[in-house]
Structure 1
């Protein structure tokens, strides 16, 4: 059982290692940069920026390592970078196999389309868990290395609560992946959708007249900076993301079942 999931997971190990190494290297640079800029009055630098920009980059308190990490690492890498990455990978998963005619071979085995889709998605847990399980301790060690401290519980929560958000981004990719035959189209559509949703919440959602529109974006339900600074988060937001992920997976299964391959 789960042969497809195991095979696909093994194929993603190398990519997960490269992804984790890249994110860790960037995080190390940001932590080092924080130590170099020690003593700079960040609040004066950013107080003239418009609220929408401060919201977009999660800028709350750049004078602490937690606030600096939230703005420079988690809001930039986890929210935008990894969100786009998993949308892109999810978008190419099924459409890529259909385009290369590999899907014909997979469906010739005694396995339902629904199970095949779930196992394909399950393989994405390899890079998703790797970048969080390994990235968290690495960031902590970087912070300790410059003589700073960070609450372990808050750091763990920031990584743990990012997983439902990344699942939604990957789910958006899968929905496009089962809807079209070409991987490039699915990947671009998924990346474009996640990016637009990011802009909707961070920029358009800041206007009072369009306040309601921010609730359409998954970034509305995962805010890493407050988690890192004071450990504040609302579990209902996580539940909303998980429900959205399940809905996207069910939609993907329904579309995949009806496709003529």
Structure 2
């Protein structure tokens, strides 16, 4: 238990430090103030060097990691919220509504997540809001399926049946019987949805769908670094390391 709390504290602290990059970085990540040092190596003033546009690369990575975490979190939270609403609609809306919900989700499962994201971004103005909606929509079919399985398993357990037998209300059963056993599994589900959302976000921005081609996000940085892969591979390595680190840290949460 103590080990789990210690790990959670370290991981949450690291994620909070990365999120700080959305508010503050050592240099302005969009200011081309060091053009004479472009594509340079690390130095005391610029720890990760300066990119081809004369921008401090540490500031770009820090802001990019913060943006990736923030919008992947918003997209994954939206996906789970919509999944929960659809689950409630399926359970309470009658046979016809339930069948329609399951059919819609099955259709979404059959479509590749990247295609769903491309479809949403195509019909909206490109930008952070469109990307968040895209990854949220793409995560709903998976989130609904998994949440439905969790709910069905918990609702059929002996302790829920006992609570129902003694006359416990629906809300009482949920808050005192189902929720204490649901939230650890819900955390595990969110970690998966977050990982998919983060990869989907980075894939869409890597394809150039961010709107602003210079927007600091890990997928955009990977796309820009790809142009320098043979001459300066560090401009690909660092955003890749940041992306893998965020994915790994989130999976350590307990």
Q: TM-score, normalised by structure 1?
A: 0.34
Q: RCO greater where, 1 or 2, for CA within 8 Å and sep 6 or more?
A: 1
Q: Which protein has the larger Cα radius of gyration, Structure 1 or Structure 2?
A: 2
TM-score, structure 2 length as denominator?
A: 0.35
